[in-house]
Structure 1
């Protein structure tokens, strides 16, 4: 049994699908220009071939947004735009990523996938000590995952070309700030262990 996992972060239709609400904005542009979906798809295939389990983390709220923090600038936009509703197409993982019923599926209500979720318990039960991760956005969920994972004594590895921010500069700054907390690799150079 592997002591590693590949966590795919917030690669949901609302954020990364060509027909998602973000497709015409800056996220859509960055997802397409950086080939984030295609790179993530390739990384998932490599992880599966190496026997590494894959986990998907999605942000989502009940239809009445009861879990949505009222003072959060980022999550109030979800409420205002009527997105990130659990059970709807927008909160499903992009179909090209091939999520299966055997994959770990974590739903979160905040930026960090460790906050008020079962993620840490699942990783502990599976004997995971190394987390490979990527997703959108680099300066939100990826940073939060790396920092929280680091502080929980996981070895953290980020697949840089499977991430993006609203802009190239935002992504680059986020990656630079993570250098002290993780290793970095890409979908083409990663060696899943």
Structure 2
């Protein structure tokens, strides 16, 4: 923002996995009781930044975890995920489904990119899309801090995007895990709060 020469038109807010199946009480994780108040609070916290960024000419990119349906609609699930989340079943995180969709509060995203693993860059079209849009700076938030967010931040860093992780736009299933993950990201990116970024945008584009 204020410390960078990259214009807002080349900046994107990139959210990770803010989907109904993760956040909504009737989603896959909600039905299984896999929730945390810090995660539930994220959409309302992120919305003002998403709106400001779009108003000033930036982008909002949503990357969404996907369980690819195979024969009979049964999802292809990695063994480690099946072990961690045995409740995942047919229809969860299926492309085009309600559960797979970005939560209503943040709709619509300017661009949506499906992902199949922690990182939004692993075997996806994310880098291609960002290069086509001319994006040079990423403001990253979402869930979980120690999983999809951390992996996406590190992959953005090695691809030479100017990367900012939004500390209060991320959450994990415990505050301690979140804090540890944020500290581990400080050597590879700037760590900032939503209010700081919004103030910098307003100051630069008032």
Same fold (TM over 0.5): yes
Offset, 1:40: 1.3
2:3 match: none
1:40 aligns with 2:49: no
Please give the residue correspondences for 1:1-193 in structure 2 after superposition, counting only pairs within 5 Å: 2-23=9-30, 25=33, 27-32=35-40, 35-64=41-70, 67-69=76-78, 71=79, 73-74=80-81, 77=84, 80-82=87-89, 83-100=92-109, 103-190=110-197, 191-192=200-201
Instruction: Flag structure 2 segments of 5+ consecutive residues without an equivalent.
Output: 1-7
Q: Secondary structure at the match of 2:196?
A: coil
Query: What's the TM-score once normalised by structure 2's chain length?
Result: 0.82
Distance 1:187 1:132, change over 3 A: same
Residues 16 and 37 of structure 1 are in contact (CA less than 8 Å); yes or no, is this contact kept in structure 2? no
- Segment drifting more, 10-19 vs 151-160: 10-19
Query: Deviation string for 1:142-171 (max 9, x for gaps)?
Result: 101110000011110111111100100010
The alignment yields a C-alpha RMSD, in angstroms, of 2.1
Q: Distance in 2 between matches of 1:55 and 1:75?
A: 28
Larger Rg: 1 or 2? Answer: 2
Instruction: Flag structure 1 segments of 5+ consecutive residues without an equivalent.
Output: none
Offset, 1:81: 1.9
Query: What's the TM-score once normalised by structure 1's chain length?
Result: 0.87
